[in-house]
């Protein structure tokens, strides 16, 4: 378990030694507090990269949005009323990846292009990179 003590100590070590951390985690609520920059991966593919502040304030990729909507809020009333974005569809196998967006089987915005052409990370401004063919539909 990553506690506030761990967080404080990691920040201190980072400053003292001038280090850069590559921290891999599933808990996005914690990642927010320890990262300057965050990369979101789906089945081994980077789908979004941005500064921590930018990513949590303005997620773009449908997978990132779903992940962030699932973070529990420590206020029961707010938690009860928040809207989650459910992830549906089949989780593919990383052993059996073909061309196209790996998130396509679970994405409500997927089109034929998504199944045949792998989206590349593109800078949407402010060094906020997203890999998605259909941002006009999403934004």
Give contact residues for ligand SF4 (rule: CB under 6 A): 61-62, 101, 103-104, 107, 109-110, 114, 119, 132-134
The count of C-alpha atoms lying within 13 angstroms of the C-alpha of 63, restricted to the half-sphere facing its C-beta, is: 22
Residue 84 Cβ vs ligand SF4, minimum distance, rounded to whole Å: 18
CB of 128 to ligand SF4, least distance (A): 15
DSSP assigned state of 61: S
Nearest to 71 by CA among 26, 15, 103: 26
Residue closest to 132 by CA, chosen among 37, 40, 121: 121
- Nearest CB to ligand SF4, comparing residues 54 and 62: 62
Tell me how far, at minimum, the Cβ of 78 lies from ligand SF4, in Å.
Answer: 28
Please, which residue, 8 or 94, has the CB nearer to ligand SF4? Answer: 94
Question: CA 59, 87, 35: angle at the middle one, nearest 5?
Answer: 35
Nearest distance in Å: CB 132, ligand SF4: 3
């Amino acid at each position: 378990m990553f506690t506030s003590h761990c967080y404080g100590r990691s920040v201190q070590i980072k400053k003292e030694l001038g280090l850069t951390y590559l921290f891999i985690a599933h808990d996005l609520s914690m990642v927010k507090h320890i990262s300057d920059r965050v990369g979101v991966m789906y089945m081994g593919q980077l789908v979004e990269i941005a500064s921590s502040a930018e990513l949590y304030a303005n997620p773009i990729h449908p997978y990132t949005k779903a992940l962030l909507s699932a973070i529990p809020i420590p206020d029961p009333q707010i938690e009860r009323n928040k809207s989650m974005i459910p992830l549906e569809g089949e989780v593919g196998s990383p052993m059996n990846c073909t061309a196209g967006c790996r998130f396509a089987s679970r994405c409500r915005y997927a089109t034929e292009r998504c199944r045949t052409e792998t989206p590349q990370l593109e800078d949407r401004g402010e060094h906020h990179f997203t890999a998605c063919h259909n941002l006009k539909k999403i934004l």
